[in-house]
Amino acid sequence: MPKLPDLRTPEGVRVRVQLFPSDATLAADVARTWASLVPDRVDDATFRADLEEHLRRWYPNLSLQGQSELAAMTQEEEVWYLFRDGRIRRESPVRDRFYGVMSSARSTTDEVLTTMRQAELAAQGFAQRRTRAARETSPETPSSGTPTPSPTTSGA
């Protein structure tokens, strides 16, 4: 059974998410999406709706339901039920493999984009250093804006 990290809403409420099916791929996608959304949200209701909306991009039938307050054993944490397929379904190795491959592709894409951003920043830094070095080593030009003529050798 996959274990999600300690999850807290923007308001600081601890949440235990029960996954159906109990799947490591789904757990990784929930944790990654959760971490990306929490810093930008201020209230729990909006956060839960946004979490469901973002996850539906990858899992179109997904359903996220909060536990009824009457069923809660404690008020210290909330329990959310996340149904990848919208309901509890019989196991399907083909469907599970499909979601696993898609999740892996998303992770790879995220890693590539992060690497590309880092490379772009490094290239910008190099270009700035190169420009700065070129300015420091270039000969002074007259104030008129015309370049200084270079000495030429005569062929005679």
Q: What is the pLDDT of residues 96-152, one digit of tens each?
A: 888 888 888 888 888 899 899 999 999 999 999 988 888 888 776 555 555 555 555
The number of distinct structural domains making up the chain is 1
Does residue 25 lie within any of the structural domains? Answer: yes
Which parts of 46-109 are beta strand (E)? 63-66, 77-83
Rounded to the nearest 5 degrees, what angle is found at the Cα of 152, between the Cα atoms of 148 and 155? Answer: 165
pTM: 0.64
Please give the C-alpha separations between residue 42 and each of 13, 29, 84, in angstroms, as whole numbers.
12, 21, 25
28-80 pLDDT tens trace: 999 999 999 988 888 888 899 999 999 999 999 999 998 877 666 666 788 99
**Tens digit of pLDDT for each residue in 31-43?**
999 999 988 888 8
101 lies in some domain = no
Gap between the Cα atoms of 23 and 9, Å rounded:
22
> Does residue 107 sit within a domain?
no
DSSP 84: T
> Is residue 136 one of the residues assigned to a domain?
no
CATH number at residue 79: 3.10.20
| 73 falls within a domain | yes
Owning domain of residue 79 = 7-88
Q: Where are the beta strands (DSSP E) in the chain?
A: 7-8, 14-20, 63-66, 77-83
Cis before 10 (ω within 30): no
**Residue 28 covered by a domain:** yes
Assigned domain for 93 exists? no
With beta carbons less than 8 A apart as the criterion, state whether 110 and 35 touch. Answer: no
In a domain, 43, yes or no: yes
